[in-house]
Chains A and B, each alone.
Chain A
Amino acid sequence: MTTGGPDTVSDSRGRELRLSRQVYRLRVLGLLTGGISVATVFAAQPTGWPIWTVLALHVFVWPHAAWHAARTSRDPHRTERTSLTVDSALGGMWVALMHFNLLPSVLIVAMMSMDKIGWGPRFLARTSAAMAAACLAGMVLTGFRVEPATSMREIVASLPLVVAYPLAVAFASYHSGRLTRERNRQTAALRDQLAHVARVGTLGEMAAGLAHELNQPLTAIHFEAGAALEVDDPIEMRRALSAIAGHSLRAGDIVRRMRTFARRGEPTRERTDIRQLIREVLALLAHDLRLNGVQTRELFDDVPAVLVDRIELQQVMVNLIRNAMEAMAATPMADRRLSIETRAAGRGVRVSVSDSGHGVDPAIAATLFHPFHTTKSSGLGLGLSICQSLIEAHAGRIGTAPAAERGTTFFFELPAAAPAGAAS
């Protein structure tokens, strides 16, 4: 390509063009960085240091190119000028993209990858419009001092490049968005499987308590039936039978709760009153709480409904409450207090579970939510890390704080559901 030394290049018809060494280098650098940036987006890495490096390079390269093109536009060599103008237009486009579009489009890619917005005609139209505006701005900004007769041709000549680049970016961002969505879907499927396995494991640990809990109504039913068989008074008999009906319902409730908890299904999102859900979980853990002598306080403020997968949220609550109980294992029975609080927080709901136990060692507080981190003799140390991923899958956050008096508070926040009846 280079024939007459570093200062000249040949065009497609074999004519030599003189270019200043600087512009030539800048063009190569510009093409290189452009290539890297497209490749980066293609590699489905729309964020991180590569894209920022590329963007930073553009900031320096293209204004220089544009400036230089403007300075050399009085050069008598028309073709050279044309190519430089294309460069300057492209450079200007880059500069404009940088300011007006590329950054947002990187954000759009990132947002798409988080499934925040969909890939649809509206997105396409918006991106295209932004790109076109950016190109226009670039030409206006840098395509100056061009003779009118040449100008039209130059603009037309630059169009393929000007159009191709945004299209490449748009396609690349779509592609990377699809890759990311696919990856997110796989991650979600794995998370659900892991959560289910953990739930079944937890249920196994709760089995003794649940069996005992189930035994109570069964025993009572048996006693009532025995009493009904012994008495002659029809009123007494009716009383015993109605007690049997009540106890059997209670036994059925226990079985239903267990089965729901262990169920495996596609995660769903339902409008849920979180307080109702917490009461269900407390019922599930009633026996363990009572046997451990834990006094439970419910401080339930009026809170908006949340859109959640009930089973997953139950799992989080079971985990937090069982952790709280374990933290109080060494606490004198009279001081074992569990308080569960719900209150409105920002545009969502905050649920806190506080215990009066030994508290969290500050040394391990930072790694509390890491997987396979455990201070217990049994268990894999997955509980809190699963809680975190479940809460984050609900666009919420989970954290910990020292409790008011002693012990620990675990809390999570969830966004409020859209008002009932509103289109979601």
Chain B
Amino acid sequence: MTLVAHAFIVDDEEMVRTSLGKLLRAIGIPSTAFPSGEAFLERFTGEEQGCLIVDIRMPGMSGLDMLEELQQRGSVLPAIVMTGHTDEGSARRLGSLRPLGLLEKPFSVAQLKQMLRRAAEQGG
């Protein structure tokens, strides 16, 4: 099973960041966690390898804002989007961002693994 080289977790919820990091480590993927979109963009160089796992709903910059910013900067980092629920507006924006996949919280480990495999196939 080929999985991504590294995962970048962006979520404002500390317990989700921690537990997701733990799960990724358990399935053999190193990860870095960021509490906000701003924090990730600050460290973003464009040379990252791997896959983004980003929450949509965050205070300040939302996950969508961050992905749009990354698209403008020409990033090709595949992104898995986590969400509580998707309204129409964000669904439309998501469509144009073409993320790798959408995971509705709470989602199963199998779904996550499947997404990560797809990310790896895309060259993550």
Contact = CB atoms under 8 A, between A and B. Distances in A.
Do A and B pair up? The answer is yes
Given A226-B26, A333-B60, A220 B109 contact: no
B57 interface: yes
A291 B57 contact: yes
A126 interface: no
Contacts, number: 77
Interface in B79-115: 84-85, 105-109, 112
B65 interface: no
A291 B59 contact: yes
Given A212-B57, A219-B106, A224 B84 contact: no
Interface footprint category on B: 20 to 34
B22 interface: yes
A348 interface: no
B60 A223 contact: no
B121 interface: no
Interface in B13-59: 13, 15-16, 18-20, 22-23, 25-27, 57-59
Say what secondary structure dominates the interface of chain A.
Answer: helix
A227 B85 CA distance: 24
Nearest to A230: B26
B60 A215 contact: no
A215 B15 contact: no
B59 A290 contact: yes
Nearest to A211: B84
A78 interface: no
A229 B84 CA distance: 24
A329 to B, nearest CB: 13
Given A222-B109, A226-B26, A227-B23, A217 B59 contact: no
A388 B58 CA distance: 34
A112 interface: no
Given A292-B59, A333-B60, A226 B23 contact: yes
Contacts of B105: 215-216, 218-219
Contacts of A239: 22
Interface in A198-240: 208, 211-212, 215-231, 236, 239-240
Contacts of A247: 15, 19
Given A216-B13, A220-B19, A231 B59 contact: no
B115 to A, nearest CB: 13
A293 interface: yes
17 contacts: A212-B57, A215-B84, A215-B105, A216-B13, A219-B107, A220-B16, A221-B19, A223-B19, A223-B109, A224-B19, A224-B22, A224-B23, A231-B26, A243-B18, A247-B19, A250-B15, A293-B60
Given A215-B105, A219-B16, 18 more contacts: A208-B85, A216-B13, A216-B105, A219-B105, A222-B108, A223-B19, A223-B22, A223-B23, A224-B22, A225-B109, A226-B109, A227-B25, A227-B26, A228-B26, A229-B109, A236-B26, A243-B22, A290-B59
Contacts of B112: 226
A300 to B, nearest CB: 24
A223 B20 contact: yes
A218 B106 CA distance: 6
A250 B57 CA distance: 20
Contacts of B108: 222
B54 to A, nearest CB: 14
A225 B108 CA distance: 10
Contacts of B57: 212, 291
Interface string A239-267: 11001000100100000000000000000
Contacts of A228: 26
